[in-house]
Amino acid sequence: MTALLELVGVSRRFGGLNAVDNVSLGVNEGEVLGLIGPNGAGKTTLINVITGVHPATAGRVSFQGRDTTRLPPHQIARLGLARTFQIVQPFPHMTVLDNVAAGALFAGHARTPRDARAQAREHLAFTGLGNASERPAGTLTLAQRKRLELAKSLAMRPKLLMLDEVNAGLNPTEIDEALRMIHAVADRGVTIIVVEHLMKVVLSIAKRIVVLHHGELIADGAPEAVLRDAQVIEAYLGSKYAAAHGGQAS
């Protein structure tokens, strides 16, 4: 099977720092992949490389068999790769509706602003923001801004959706609701990469987990195998977590 997304020997350097170091990875269509690792491991940088924000300094990125390594972000987005941002920054003075409509226009799926707004209303209804559509985006709570970020990305009709810390700062009830929406997006057939620190969240949605440490890929496999991996326990999980969840060094 040809991977929907394929990275071969991908590196990204910033001066003397190898933020991403020789990562090779394939993501299959319909897969939900968890991407974890300690702070500074290179997770967000890897997402930025995939989306063209920081082009790879070495290696190759391809999507649906097309080399996207040197494409600018807007062209990559129009191929069907969308992402949310860890730090949510909507257009604060625009309405919630127009924030989402902008995503539909940007990705080229809406022919007119009227069409874009019609599509935006569907995504706002899905994310529970229908009643807030005419409010300035800057007046939303953090949980609502997270939902807005998801609605904006869905307006781009992604084939692959990358979620960067979508649950950061949310309370348990808000996290459960976010998980429900992520499951619903996956049920639509959208391939998902979830960057997440909360292992409860990762284990509830991901069928496969990839672990980065110091920019290097140190584990890639089924959750139960990754939780037992000695490198992962040492670099990220810690022995107490591994013992509590049945993991042991292997």
Check whether residue 64 and residue 121 sit in a common domain. no
**What sign has the CA pseudo-torsion 95, 51, 29, 159?**
positive
pLDDT digits (tens, 9 = 90+) for 91-150: 999 999 999 999 898 876 788 999 999 999 999 999 999 999 999 999 999 999 999 999
Check whether residue 145 and residue 184 sit in a common domain. no
Q: What is the pTM of this model?
A: 0.92
245/226 Cα distance (integer angstroms):
12
Asked if 74 and 87 count as a contact pair (C-beta separation under 8 A), the reply is no
Check whether residue 165 and residue 250 sit in a common domain. yes
Q: Does 1 score more than 70 pLDDT?
A: no
pLDDT at 89: 87
Question: What confidence tier does 234 reach under pLDDT thresholds 50, 70, 90?
Answer: very high
Q: Does 2 score more than 90 pLDDT?
A: no
A 10 A CB-CB count for 215 gives 22
Check whether residue 176 and residue 208 sit in a common domain. yes
Q: How far apart are the first and last CA of the chain?
A: 29
Q: For position 74, which CATH number holds? A: 3.40.50.300
Boundaries of domain holding 6: 1-80+161-250
36/33 Cα distance (integer angstroms):
10
pLDDT digits (tens, 9 = 90+) for 153-187: 999 999 999 999 998 889 999 999 999 999 999 99
Asked if 250 and 230 count as a contact pair (C-beta separation under 8 A), the reply is yes
Counted domains in the chain: 2
pLDDT digits (tens, 9 = 90+) for 190-212: 999 999 988 889 999 999 999 99
39/216 Cα distance (integer angstroms):
13
Q: Does 246 score more than 70 pLDDT?
A: no
pLDDT digits (tens, 9 = 90+) for 9-18: 999 999 999 9
Nearest alpha carbon to residue 10 among 59, 61, 71, 66: 59
How are the residues of the chain apportioned to helix, strand and coil, as percentages rounded to the nearest 5?
A: 40, 25, 35
CA angle 219, 225, 230 (to 5 degrees): 60
Check whether residue 76 and residue 102 sit in a common domain. no
118/72 Cα distance (integer angstroms):
28
